[in-house]
Amino acid sequence: MSENSPAGAPDSAPAPRARATIADVAARAGVSRAAVSKVFNRTGSISVDTTERIRQAARDLNWTPSATATALRRSRSHTIGLVLDKPSDRVDIGLGTASFLAGIQSELAPLDYGLLLHAIDREPAHQLAAYRTFAETRRVDGMILTDSVENDPRFPLLAELGFPAVLVGTPFGDEQIVHVESPDPEAGVVDTAEHLLGLGHRRIAYFGGSPGRYQSEARRTAFVDALARRGIEPVSNELVDYNPKRAAAATVAQLRSESPPTALVYASDAMAIAGIQAATELGLSVPHDVSVIGYGGVDVGEWMTPSLTTVRRDSEQRGRAAAITVLRLLGERPEGDATLENPELVVRGSTSAVHD
């Protein structure tokens, strides 16, 4: 690492002159602090003349209202919190998270809201403490949650605190929490089943996410039910924690069994990609010998070879909807609408009719 620090030591550099305050601007414009505030908040009535004088003074002094002072006075931080899952000792951010963040940002930015990231592990005690502090310190005005779990302790807590929050997804039980979700969240998964059956597949293996997580369970149930309606049962139905390595291992085990599956369905694109590799290393060709389907619709799925058949869920749209919804909770009037489209099956190169 190389490093040089002009900004660090205030030795040679001129001591960063004290920031101008509203009082300085008022003085320079020859008005009261109140007048300045009124101009910048378009509240109260100030003559065109003084308004211009004040604006000029502010420009001269490079003044912008202090966010912290405003936050204190208005008890609004103008910031939304997002809690990311931190499974163990490292923060883990899935492939789809990037566009989710982008979506949130795109709605927050126009209203000049900030986005504060936090990473918290799944230890219930830590969770509660963290969320409580999050709400109590009032660093954020509202928050966006993801990944509802069974008996999620966060929902009652937030309700008790009366803290504005929106869940992306569906709460597990009948917990009361504002949430955004598409009309039929599992539509794409059902199509997955139909697609495979239509191609003649009968021996199908499913590799799921994590136990106790709503999305993981719902997705799996929807798939298994869809097969059941056609009298089929998956040859395996395993939870591999959204972990690509575990998915690959489980895939190898299945493909080596005496009556191996002809189709492999995964609860995430990353796992599906790893599954393709596992199959390939066993000398099988995708999709000729085995078909593979992922979930998520990440961009790389489109670029890789074979391109990945998957269920695309618009992460960016989900981010936007979540942001819009919290903002509304806070009394803001964001532009867009919070409508979510159903995830949809995207048939690409990793699936084909069963051969043999």
Instruction: Point out which residues bind DNA (CB under 7 A).
Output: 18-19, 21-23, 30-38, 40-41, 43-47, 49-51, 63, 65-66, 69-70, 72-75
31/82 with CB nearer DNA = 31
Supply the minimum distance, in Å, between the C-beta of residue 88 and DNA: 32
Task: Kindly tell me the burial class for residue 305, based on how many C-beta atoms sit within 10 Å of its own C-beta (0-12, 13-18, 19 or more).
Answer: exposed
Assess whether the previous peptide bond of 334 is cis (omega < 30° from 0): no
Q: State the binding string over 191-230 for a second copy (x if CB under 8 A, else -).
A: ----------------------------------------
Q: Which residues pair with 207 in a beta bridge?
A: 238, 266
- The least distance separating DNA from the CB of residue 108, rounded to whole angstroms, comes to 19
Which entry of a second copy, DNA, none binds 350, CB below 5 to 8 A by partner kind?
none
Which is closer to DNA, CB of 22 or CB of 272? 22
- Does position 238 interact with a second copy (CB under 8 A)? The reply is no
Quote the least distance from Cβ 325 to DNA, whole Å: 24
Nearer to a second copy by Cβ, of 189 and 327: the residue is: 327
Q: Which of 27, 111, 128, 177 binds a second copy (CB under 8 A)?
A: 177
Identify the sign of the CA torsion 25, 28, 34, 37. Answer: negative
In the list 43, 231, 305, 333, the residue contacting a second copy (rule: CB under 8 A) is 305
Q: Is 125 in the site for a second copy (CB under 8 A)?
A: no
**Could you tell me the smallest distance in angstroms from the CB atom of residue 179 to a second copy?**
7
Chain positions 311 to 350 lying near a second copy, rule: CB under 8 A, are 316, 321, 325, 328-329, 338-340
Q: Which parts of 136-175 interact with a second copy (CB under 8 A)?
A: 136-139, 158-159, 161-165
Measuring CA to CA, which residue among 180, 170, 155 is closest to residue 214?
170
Phi and psi based region of residue 200 (left: phi greater than 0; alpha: psi -120 to 50; beta: remaining): left
Instruction: Tell me the C-alpha distance between 222 and 238, whole Å.
Output: 15
Residue among 30 and 173 whose Cβ is closer to DNA: 30
CB of 183 vs a second copy, minimal distance in Å: 7
Query: How many Cα neighbours within 13 Å face the side chain of 141?
Result: 22
Do the Cβ atoms of 226 and 196 come closer than 8 Å? no
List the one residue from 43, 48, 88, 183 that touches a second copy (CB under 8 A): 183
Residue 34 binds which of DNA, a second copy, none (CB < 5-8 A, kind-dependent): DNA
Cα–Cα dist 196/227, whole Å: 10
Contact in structure between 205 and 240 (CB atoms under 8 Å):
no
Q: How many CA atoms lie within 13 A of 208 on its CB side?
A: 21
CA–CA dist 179, 252 (Å, integer): 38
